[in-house]
Amino acid sequence: MSHRVRLSIIGITAAVITFLSVGQPAFAHGFTSVVYAHVTAGDEGHIRTTLKLEYDLFVASAADYEDDDQLFQTGNAAFEAGDTKEQAAALNAHSKSAVKYVTDRFPVSLDGKVCTPTQVGDFTMTRQEGVPYAALLLDWTCAGPGDDHVLRSGLFPDSEGYVTSTKTIVTYEIDGRAGSAALDAAHPSFSLGQSWYERFWEFFSLGAEHLLTGTDHILFLLALIAGSRRLREIVLAATSFTLAHSVTFMLAALGLVDVPSKVVEPVIALSIAVVAGWYLWRIWRRGGHAADLEAVEGSHFSLDRAGWTRLGVVFCFGLVHGLGFAGALGIDQAWSWTLLWSLLVFNVGIEGVQLAIIAIVFPLLTVLRHRAPTAGLWATGAISAGVAAMGLVWFMQRVFGF
């Protein structure tokens, strides 16, 4: 197969993947929503929940649920105007519809009996990850003896058609117990007396699911794998990426770093294109010959200047990806060690999936390279070309909005 034909194959692969990527969402995290709930003890027989809900989604869902067209019109106008006072006023003017939606979708029960909710104060406005959120305080009267409080969340379900999935992140401090949980359609409820291993599994699963559904993060990882010809390369690259995104993940989640998603998302897309393009550039320099590239890589463990530069680039982009991971939770409340532990477990879930992908894909590419060096070279080149093309498409979409 001639060099020109091989380049044509790479170009066709890139074009096909680019075409397919146009239909993908420009913002990988923009079609999900996160609800934040904090539970505390009230007077005897009462508990209180403070909920924070994404404003425009809340207005649309509550208006549709209660057939309240006026709420939708005034709430949407306030959202478009960007005036937080008008946004709060729109909800307070239609509090019956708004509160009904929340209490029906987020019931609290005690030993199987649903508690009675009462709104405390007015709706207020806050922001999470740069997005307007409405805050609602509810006091729940729970009749009868018992201590097994159960929370169930069905807020913003897929059936409404506004988002593809919703996570409800719950933190609680009640009766000397403190903890956190993650609720979704697969696991919609939990008991405040939940065991530590149940909480561990919930946040581990949440982290694993976030990586699996975050197409941009998976493509970045594939670019690292395709561009690594030896085990030490992928180990060093993956370690660099892990260390970097772990640092910014924790800093962002703790509220010490706050970078707008409109900056984070385009850079994540650009990182995909750069890391994949790096390997294509190495292939181009060697004229597309596997033997030449193998010779350049060498068999010794030490890294040359290009190797260290690549690790530095991966580390820097890893810092940005960590901000993207943190955006999945976006909690900026007062911290407890229990909640910090849950966030670490979330990160472990991300790492578990990352290692699984490396363990599956890298050996397959290694076997191909050893049995058919030229075919392996052009296979990884085609993958890198497609990934780079998709990264560039997403970058343009996220910067220019098309």
Amino acid at 301: F
Q: For 142, which DSSP code? A: -
* Model confidence, pTM: 0.56
Cα Rg for the chain, rounded, in angstroms? 24
Segment 152-182, tens digit of pLDDT: 999 999 899 888 778 888 888 877 777 777 7
| 3 vs 77, higher pLDDT | 77
Query: DSSP E strands: which ranges in 70-188?
Result: 108-110, 113-114, 116-119, 124-128, 131-141, 149-152, 165-174, 177-183
Segment 118-130, tens digit of pLDDT: 999 999 999 876 7
Segment 50-67, tens digit of pLDDT: 999 999 999 999 999 999
H-helix or E-strand spanning residue 43 = none
| 92 vs 181, higher pLDDT | 92
pLDDT at 393 over 80: yes
313 falls in which pLDDT band (50, 70, 90)? confident
User: Could you count the other beta carbons within 10 Å of the beta carbon of residue 229?
Assistant: 21
| 24 vs 222, higher pLDDT | 222
Tell me how far apart the alpha carbons of residues 346 and 208 are, in angstroms, rounded to a whole number: 8
User: Would you kindly state where each structural domain of the chain is located, as residue ranges?
Assistant: 3-28+214-400, 35-194
The pLDDT of 314-336, averaged and rounded, is: 67
Q: Which of 345, 374, 349 is nearest to 217 (CA)?
A: 349
